[in-house]
Amino acid sequence: MANQRELLKRLYNAFKPFEPLKPDSPVYVDCREVRGDGDVITDLADNIEYSDNNTCQLYAGHRGAGKSTELLRLKKYLEDNGYFVVYFAADEKDINLEDTEYADILLACTRHLLEQLTQANPKPLLDWLKYRWEDLKDLATTEISLDSLAVESQVGQYAKLTANLRAEPTLRKKLEKELILILKV
């Protein structure tokens, strides 16, 4: 019995079942035949590529079922076909698992998007940051001017806003009202 437990422990740690596989991993097993669904890459990529409008895709499953692995494969497929893809796993910097609201998720997505967009042409990003900052700057609890800051520093200010919101829950309600007004405009 002890040998069997040790073997299972070694297997578990060798495969790290809760870490997603890289898109071209040699240990990837295609389970479509037993899952009963189509190819994630084909289904989701077709919805994204063929639509003239923005799309939202929901991909769900049990923990450890391979969602992140499949999404990383989708990311690679889309990038190989000329798309700019932002993929991130929310972590402690982004989400407090015991106290998360949609504003936290929206800010986490924004922060990751901005961080990855800094590699692109900065002018549209800088214009967008300045425009949005005017709507949200009073929530940062410190006076900040974006005019003289580089792109990386401006992205850092959004990270600071996220940290302030996590530390001060009353700011969340204020942000929710601001976001509703921004979305209505």
Alpha-carbon distance of 98 to 107, in angstroms, equals 17
Residue pLDDT, tens place only, 47-101: 888 988 878 888 888 877 888 888 999 999 999 998 888 888 776 677 777 777 7
Place of tokens 């007004």: 181
pTM flag (> 0.85): no
CA distances from 39 to 19, 53, 126 (A): 21, 22, 38
| Residue whose entry in the numeric block shows the structure tokens 């000329």 | 82
The residue among 24 and 112 whose pLDDT is bigger is: 24
Neighbours of 103 (CB within 10 A): 19
